[in-house]
Structure 1
């Protein structure tokens, strides 16, 4: 009689391939510049497409320093610094000294930036309603819970030696 763990182990490589394929597809869709344009249009926000991911990054990770935001966004820190300067000139973010290290300047949303990201969040909510229209409420809750768990685990994954 096969051990239940061995059966699960035999299935796991295919499940991992399916998860990886789904993540690649999701990232591909999310990284399309046209998707950012669509999101901004649905939100009624006029913003340079290159600044959009950084504004959302400041919303999600802020207060955040240039180096951390550059690492999280996969961009060069000099580019991120320059783009944060543009967001600051637009009045969408403010930069201030870090509470823990006064040598580091961190970006935070301004009141105007919060208004803009609230509009983007509302547009994202409308898109999600379309995506999940045929899902049961329990399925959406389970998906959110499992995706959050996956995100937490992968974020805290120690580097291989």
Structure 2
């Protein structure tokens, strides 16, 4: 692959920093939409649980790149809020399966609809092919990042 020009890499860094800053602000908003006591970084955890339906704590920790202890504490707080349930894994009673509760799913879906509305509004003047390409490039970047 060709060496990337330094100016282009600095521009990517600048735009990524702006995106992350904006994302943190949006995370505070959307977390409070899900539940007033929800930590902002928990939205991503809820997203993974919504996508997977049910998953083992160890698999989720590996996927998110966090320790099992850290994830267990986060799950505990989500359980206390009534958003997540932990049940014994039928194939291994020592392990737990995690999933959203009905209330967690309802609250997450409502907050997600709000977020998707914001994204839709930001991209409303983009051609559909550009939106698809943007999604492809973001996925490629995230896959390369790790």
Give the TM-score, by structure 1 length.
0.67
Q: Show the 5 A alignment for 1:58-137.
A: 58-60=49-51, 63-65=55-57, 68-69=60-61, 72=64, 78-98=69-89, 102-137=93-128
Extract unaligned runs of 5+ from structure 2.
none
Larger fraction in strand: 2
How many residue pairs are counted as aligned between the two chains?
143
Extract unaligned runs of 5+ from structure 1.
156-161
Q: Show the 5 A alignment for 1:136-151.
A: 136-151=127-142
Q: 1:10 to 1:150 in 2, by over 3 A?
A: closer
Root mean square deviation, CA, Å: 3.1
Cα displacement string for residues 43-95 of structure 1 (whole angstroms, at most 9, x for unaligned residues): 5x433131643433433465141684498376x75454233223223332111
State which structure, 1 or 2, has the greater radius of gyration over its C-alpha atoms.
1
What is residue 159 of structure 1 aligned with on the other side? none
Q: Say which SS state the counterpart of residue 5 (structure 2) adopts.
A: helix
Give the TM-score, by structure 2 length.
0.73
Tell me, yes or no, if the aligned pair for 2:56 and 2:97 is still in contact at 8 Å. Answer: yes
1:38 maps to 2:29? yes
